[in-house]
Amino acid sequence: MMNKDEQYMQRALELAEWGRGCVSPNPLVGCVIVHQDKIIGEGHHQRYGESHAEVNAIASVENQELLTEATVYVTLEPCAHHGKTPPCANLLVEKKVRRVVIAATDSNPLVGGKGIEILRNAGIEVQTGVLEKAARWQNRRFFTQIEKKRPYIILKWAQTQDGFVARNDFSSKWISNSQSRQLVHKWRAEEDAILVGKNTAFYDNPTLNVRDWVGKNPLRLVIDRQLILPKELKLFDQAVPTICFNQKLNEIKANLEYKKLPFQSIVPEILADLQDRKIQSLIVEGGPFVLNQFLDAELWDEARVFISQNKFVEGIKAPSLNDSPDEQFTIESDQLAIYYYV
C-alpha cells in the first residue's frame, strides 16, 4: 500500500511519461502540486528546449497564493543551472513553496545536489528518494548517458522458431507479424537513433522510419566501411537525417553525413561519436554481425527479440543470449522476449 507521498509521486511519474520521445537529451520529468491533500497543479516536460515540468505545473495553479502552503512532487531534482530555460529550483524558491518531494537526485554535474541545496538554503523542506527506483528506471536513458558516457543501447531482432534471422540468401521478409512490426515503429519514435550494418542496408533496403506510428523519426545510422552501398538505397534518400560511418570520407550534404572513423574498435568509436552528438538512446536493428559486435563488447542495455512461428530449417543464425528472458509477451502469433544487461 502506497503512502500519500508515493501516490502523488506515482502520478508525477505518469505525467513524465507523456514526454517520451520528445525531450531528449533532457530527462523525462513530471510534477504534481498538492495543497491540503488536493492536487492543484500538474505539469510535465513536453519538448526539449521548452518549459520544464515545474514551470508547467506552477503555471497550471489557478490560485498562486496557495503555493506557499503547497507540496511540490517532482520526479527528478529541480535544475539549478541556466540552460535553455531558467533554473527550476530558483522558481520554487521565488514561489515560496512549503515542501518539495523528489524521487531521484540528478547525477548531471551541472545539478548534482545543487538544486536541493538551493531549496534547503531558502528554508524549504526537502524530501528525497520517494519512488527513486521507479524514477531512475523511467529515466534510464538519461542516467546511462550521464553516468556511463554513452547512449542507452537497445538490441532488436526477429528470429524464426528454429533460430534464424534470414535465409542463406539474406532474405528475411517477413519473419515477425504485422503487429510486431508496428510495435517496432513505436519503439523507433521513442529513441534517438537507429543503426544497421551494410548487409541489412543492402539486402533489406530498410527505410528505418516510423511510417506505421505517430512520432519523430530517429536519426538513421548505417555502417559502410568501404562505401560500397548503392546510393539508390532508401537510407540515402535524405528524407530523414542519416549518418554513414565509414573509413574513407568526411562529408556533409543536406540530411546525409559521411563520418570517417578509424574502425579499430568500431562499437566504442560509434558510441563516442553519438555521445558527442548528445544522442541519448540507440536501437541496433542488425544484422547479426553488427548485433554480435555489441554483445561481444558487452555494450548493451536491453535486447528485444521477436520469435515467430516460422521455420527456415537453415539460414543465417540469430545472435545467442544464454540467459532466460527477464520479460515475455505474446504479440499475436509472435513471442517477444526482453533481456536486460546487468
Active site residue 54: yes
Distances (CA, A) of 217 to 29, 93, 212, 242, 295: 22, 38, 11, 11, 25
Is residue 198 a contact partner of residue 225, using CB atoms and an 8 Å limit?
yes
Q: Where would I find the H helices in the chain? A: 4-17, 53-59, 88-94, 114-121, 132-138, 140-148, 178-190, 198-204, 266-276, 288-296
Instruction: State yes or no: 52 annotated in a binding site.
Output: yes
Instruction: State yes or no: 158 annotated in a binding site.
Output: yes
* Unique residue bearing C-alpha cell 545510422: 221
Is residue 151 a contact partner of residue 274, using CB atoms and an 8 Å limit?
yes
Instruction: State yes or no: 204 annotated in a binding site.
Output: yes
54 three-state secondary structure: helix
Distance, CA of 154 to CA of 187 (rounded, Å): 10
CB-based contacts of 241: which residues, under 8 Å, 6+ apart?
219, 220, 255, 257
Instruction: State yes or no: 79 annotated in a binding site.
Output: yes
- What grid cell was written down for 159? 528470429
| Strand-strand pairing, 219-223 and 242-246 | parallel
Instruction: State yes or no: 201 annotated in a binding site.
Output: no
Question: Among 20, 15, 13, which residue's Cα sits nearest to residue 213?
Answer: 20
Instruction: State yes or no: 81 annotated in a binding site.
Output: no
Instruction: State yes or no: 208 annotated in a binding site.
Output: yes
Instruction: State yes or no: 211 annotated in a binding site.
Output: yes
- The single residue of 6, 14, 54, 132 carrying the catalytic annotation is 54
List residues forming the annotated binding site for NADP(+): 158, 174, 200, 204
List residues forming the annotated binding site: 52, 79, 88, 158, 172, 174, 188, 200, 204, 208, 211, 285
List residues forming the annotated binding site for substrate: 172, 188, 208, 211, 285
Which residues are marked as active site? Answer: 54
List residues forming the annotated binding site for Zn(2+): 52, 79, 88
